[in-house]
Amino acid sequence: MAEKTARNSDGGPHPTPERDARVILSNEPGSFAWGVLANRHPALIEQVRDAFPYGPRQHEALDALLEQNNNGVIEPLAPSESDHEQWSVWGREFFGRSWFDAPFLWSESYFYRRLLSAVGYFGTGPWQGVDPFAPFKRAELRGTAVDEELRALDALADVPADERATALLHASVWGNRADLGFRVTEGDVTPGAAADDLVADDSAQLWQLLPAGTGVTVAVVADNAGRELIPDLILIDHLLLHRHAERIVLHVKPYPYYVSDATTADVVDCLRRLAEAPGEAGRIGSRLWDAMATGRLEVRAHPFFCAPLPYEEMPEDLRAEFAAATLTILKGDLNYRRLVGDRMWAETTPFADRTAYFPGAVAALRTLKSDVIVGLEQKTLEALERSGATWRTSGTHALIQVRGETGRSR
Ligand SMILES: O=P(O)(O)OC[C@@]1(O)O[C@H](CO)[C@@H](O)[C@@H]1O
């Protein structure tokens, strides 16, 4: 699929300055956002349809969603849906418009909500609670790539703690490349296979915020299950074991979302996969299992994690949770879009400025899979543009960006 970087409305090659950065829509043919709605969503509907022996009701609902996504307008949820009222408020401005004309962040989120309705996930029938993405997540978790990744932990067990910490942090960052939604249209993207380029690396600041032995709480906002969540859990074990954190709250999605996003069921599957593995992986798994029992590791699934909104609009209870943590680590591309705002910011806009509203220190660990980017050094940006690569959206580049409690100048 030929996806190109979205351009300004005037067709210029660079994003607009911060004061008028435009919201990303999906109505520019050839742009990344357009490609997601035009190609990824229809492909996903067919994959889900083929993965289950659904009945006529589900097939008809999937046909209707496909037609609406491709050629129709956005329709509200049925009044019988329990979150009908909530989505009526969120969608007030967008119902009746083409899916391509709504903000990209909003239309993608609503697409996943509608897909779950189509397959009866929220209904009262037999398909209630059946995750339509489970077969893909399960296949990935059982795959030989995970076996190899777990075996590699044995070699890490004896290296000095700081080297191990760096390796585990990088595994968590690059684990984000293995997202299943990405693979609907990009083919298999194996972590570690492409140019392992960090376009920003504030990892020193991250470790400074979490010195060993301080007994603090860290919040981790998870992204994908499987090959991303496993390295995230291994990093969590390292933080707990070496007392960079006394307690970790792992935030997951309350329902299936963006294909492979982690839910509580996925955390359980990953913990079981670790605990049943031989060697170091098994030891990590049983430590994490114990940490769940003692409350040192706690899982939460706040409804806001499936809302079509930026974190700037988070509710008070979540704001208080993040404020109480010494550091909040946000994983992945979607969390990044929600953190800095899904707009075509100038790439050198300081990360600290875009996240100044966030309650407490925040770190973003993300591979680049959409057009949004801030916090780049000018020279880094120039080198990336010179390279001619599709660095914004292809998942070949990544970043570790951190804003401490008081913000930073860059
Ligand atoms: O949040 P994640 O899993 O890292 O990425 C989500 C993603 O696959 O979905 C969007 C397109 O559907 C893009 O933002 C991004 O490529």
DSSP characters for 346-360?
Answer: -TTS-HHHHTTTSSS
Q: Which domains does the chain have, with CATH numbers?
A: 18-118 (1.20.930), 134-403 (3.40.50.10880)
What is the Cα gyration radius of the chain? Answer: 21
| pLDDT(380) > 60 | yes
Q: What percent of the chain has pLDDT over 70?
A: 90
Pocket test for ligand 1, best of 370, 372, 373, 392 (most atoms within 8 A of CB): 370
What average pLDDT does the structure give for the chain?
91
Q: What is the pTM of this model?
A: 0.93
Nearest CA residue ID for atom 11, ligand 1: 36
Nearest CA residue ID for atom 5, ligand 1: 333
CB atoms within 10 A of CB 6: 25
Q: How far apart are CA 157 and CA 280, in angstroms?
A: 7
Q: How far apart are CA 395 and CA 181, in angstroms?
A: 12
pLDDT the model gives residue 214: 85
pLDDT the model gives residue 184: 67
216 Cα to the center of ligand 1, angstroms = 30
Average pLDDT over residues 101-115: 98
Index of the ligand 1 atom closest to the CA of residue 393: 16
pLDDT band at 12 (very low <50, low <70, confident <90, very high): very low
35-45 tens-digit pLDDT: 999 999 999 99
Q: What percent of the chain has pLDDT over 90?
A: 86
Nearest CA residue ID for atom 12, ligand 1: 36
pLDDT the model gives residue 18: 59
Average pLDDT over residues 325-353: 97
Q: Is residue 202 packed enough to be buried (19+ CB in 10 Å), middle (13-18) or exposed (0-12)?
A: buried
**Exposed e or buried b for every residue in 154-168, given b needs 16+ CB within 10 A?**
eeeeeeeeeebbebb
293 Cα to the center of ligand 1, angstroms = 32
| pLDDT(195) > 60 | no
Kindly list the protein residues whose Cβ atom lies closer than 6 A to any atom of ligand 1. 36, 40, 108, 176, 179, 181-182, 223-224, 258, 332-334, 337, 369-370
Q: How far apart are CA 342 and CA 110, in angstroms?
A: 15
Q: How far apart are CA 329 and CA 153, in angstroms?
A: 22
What was the ipTM of the complex prediction? 0.96
Q: How far apart are CA 98 and CA 12, in angstroms?
A: 25
Average pLDDT over residues 223-228: 96
DSSP characters for 146-208?
Answer: HHHHHHTHHHHTTS-HHHHHHHHHHHHHHHGGG-HHHHHHH----TTSS--EEEEE-HHHHHH
pLDDT the model gives residue 7: 43
CA 245 vs. chain centroid, Å, equals 23
| pLDDT(216) > 90 | yes
340's enclosing H/E stretch is helix 332-340
